[in-house]
Amino acid sequence: MIYRITRRAALAGVASIAMIAAGATSALAEGWKPQKPIEMVIMAGQGGGADRLARLFQSIIQKEGLASMPVLPVNKGGGSGAEALRYLKDNEGDAHKIMATLNSYYTTPLRTDIGVDIEEFQPIARMALDTFVLWVNADSDVQTLDDFVAAVKASGGEWKMGGTGTGQEDSLVTAMLEKEFDIKVTYVPFGGGGDVAKNVVGGHIDSSVNNPSEALGFYQAGKMRPIMAMTPNRLDVFPDTPTATELGHDIVYWMQRSFVAPKGMPAEAVAYYTEMFKNLSQTEEWQTYTREKALMADFLSGDELQAYFLEEREKHAAILADMEGDGAS
């Protein structure tokens, strides 16, 4: 039925396009609206932390009716997000594509030459900063940071630190720890944060730098022990865990959860999405979630966000240079 309308009455179709186009222009005056479903590209595979968060956003948007068209998540996690970055680059000017980012937004273009300059992308909104905590198994003798450093040194390099893939956030945090405390660990890469936490609890690795949300369940069951939070202030969910800053070490590392758009997205569309995420950040669901999962809900948009991205890229370039300088693989 519908098919016949579009196909047979081609002329009528063309006429209707003209009308829609006219309608769209008049709509512009009142503010831009998406004309088709919005594609939310996720820089990670299905089921990981980034994916879950992106789908949470999708659900809240849908539940609260924050967008006039559905938001459809698409995973393009290949090559640590290289696939997603290239895809965004190839869709210049598209007003119906946004991308959920994590720190591989900086590290992937820095580590491999994929012909993408993130400066060209259009920043939309930073929703949150995720935190990192140093964890050990609850049965371990390690109670404090000093115990940890001593235990790693005593192991002669055989201390097993688990984390996500080499070159991703966990390995950077590990490199920062190694440098700060002059220690050497064996870094074991796993597919995802949940997998890492499970291996800590199962005793297959000695420690991890999981995000709180990944290890919270085990922590509440008394199976994992937080040693140190890599944040400036103590986290509400772990009030007794000291921060690195408190202990006199300058280790602060965040995982940013932001949205960006392709280069050349019309300004009205950028405004629309920024507004959408601003409304999202004020919803009850989001605020509860960030509180429970120890996320810092720190909304940022526009030029400030771009400045933040570029500053972070510099920082990551320095950390990566350090890592490679050490000959760590």
Partner 1 sequence: MLIADRVIAIAIMALSAYFMWHAIALPIGWNGMTGGPGGGAFPFWLSLIMLLSAGGVLIRSLMQAPSSQHFFDSQMLRSVILVVVALFVTIALIPVLGAYIAIPLFIFWYIKIYGRHGWVLTAALTIGTPVFLFFFFEVTLKILLPKGVTEPLFFPLYAMFF
Partner 2 sequence: METLALLADGFATSLSPINLMIVILGVTAGLFIGAMPGLGSVNGVAIVLPLTFIVPPSSAIILLCAIYYGAMYGGAISSILLGIPGASTAVATTFDGRPMAQQGKAGLALIAAAVASFVGGTISVVLFTLFAVPLADLALAFGPAEEFALVLMAFTTFVGLGGDDKLKTIIMICLGLVLSTVGLDLISGQPRLIFGDLPGFYSGVSFLVLAIGVYGIGEILYTIESSRTAPQVTPAKISLRDLGDGIRTMNRMWRTMSLGSFLGFFVGMLPAAGATPAALMAYGIARSTSKDPKSFGKGNIEGVAAPETANNAASTGSLLPMLTLGIPGSPTTALLLGGMVMWGLMPGPMLFIEQPDFVWGLISSLYTANFAAVAINIALIPLFVWALRMPFTVLCAIVMVLCIVGGFAPSQKMHDVWLIAGFGVAGYLLRKADYPLAPLVLALVLGPLMEKSFRQTLISEQGNVLAFIERPLSGTFIAIAALFFVLPLVKYLRKGGRRSVAPAE
Stretch that binds partner 2, among 106-114, 124-132, 140-148, 297-305 (CB under 8 A): 106-114
Q: Which of 4, 141, 156, 250 binds partner 1 (CB under 8 A)?
A: 4
- Answer whether 175's CB lies under 8 Å from 328's CB: yes
| Beta carbons within 8 Å of 306's beta carbon, 6+ residues apart | 119, 123
Nearer to partner 1, 6 or 220 (CB): 6
Q: Which of residues 177-206 bind partner 2 (CB under 8 A)?
A: 186-191, 194-195, 197-199, 201-205
- The Cα 78–Cα 50 span in angstroms is 14
Distance CA 253, CA 225 (A): 19
Residue corresponding to tokens 């047979």: 8
CB 322 within 8 A of CB 306: no
> Binding of partner 1 at residue 35 (CB under 8 A)?
yes
Strands of 33-84 (E only): list them: 38-42, 71-75
Please, which residue, 39 or 246, has the CB nearer to partner 2?
39
**Contact between 20 and partner 1 per CB under 8 A:** yes
Neighbours of 69 (CB within 10 A): 12
Q: Which does 83 bind (CB under 5 to 8 A by kind): partner 1, partner 2, none?
A: partner 2
Residue 16 interaction partner, one of partner 2, partner 1, none, beta carbon < 5-8 Å per kind: partner 1
Q: Which residues pair with 101 in a beta bridge?
A: 258
Residues 6+ apart with CB under 8 A from 181: 149, 152, 249
Q: Within positions 145 to 184, which residues make up the interface with partner 2, using CB under 8 A?
A: 158, 160, 165-168, 171
Binding residue (CB under 8 A) for partner 1 from 22, 69, 247, 318: 69
Q: Nearer Cβ to partner 1, position 31 or 217?
A: 31
Q: What are 211's two structure tokens?
A: 């995000």
Nearest distance in Å: CB 107, partner 1: 18
> Which of the listed partners (partner 2, partner 1, none) does 144 bind, with a CB threshold of 5 to 8 Å by partner kind?
none
CB 273 within 8 A of CB 98: yes
To partner 2, the closest distance from the beta carbon of 272 in angstroms equals: 20
By CB under 8 A, tell whether 36 contacts partner 1.
yes
Pick the piece of the chain touching partner 1 (CB under 8 A) from 31-39, 106-114, 213-221, 307-315: 31-39
Q: One symbol per residue from 105 to 124: x for binding partner 1 (CB under 8 A), - otherwise; what is it? A: --------------------
216 binds partner 2 (CB under 8 A): yes
* Partner whose footprint covers residue 112, from partner 2, partner 1, none (CB < 5 to 8 Å by kind): partner 2
Shortest Å, Cβ 220 to partner 2:
5
Q: Using CB atoms within 10 A of its CB, is residue 305 exposed (0-12), middle (13-18) or buried (19+)?
A: buried
What is the rounded CA–CA span in Å between residue 49 and residue 269?
27
For partner 2, the closer of residues 213 and 243 by Cβ is: 213
CA distances from 44 to 17, 36, 41, 74, 300 (A): 36, 24, 9, 9, 22
Tokens of 311: 């500053």
Counting contacts by CB under 8 A, is residue 186 touching partner 1?
yes
In angstroms, the CA 170 to CA 214 distance is 13
Residues that bind partner 2 (CB under 8 A): 45-48, 51-52, 55-56, 58-59, 62-63, 73-80, 82-83, 86-87, 111-112, 114, 158, 160, 165-168, 171, 186-191, 194-195, 197-199, 201-205, 216-218, 220-221, 223, 285, 288-289, 292, 329
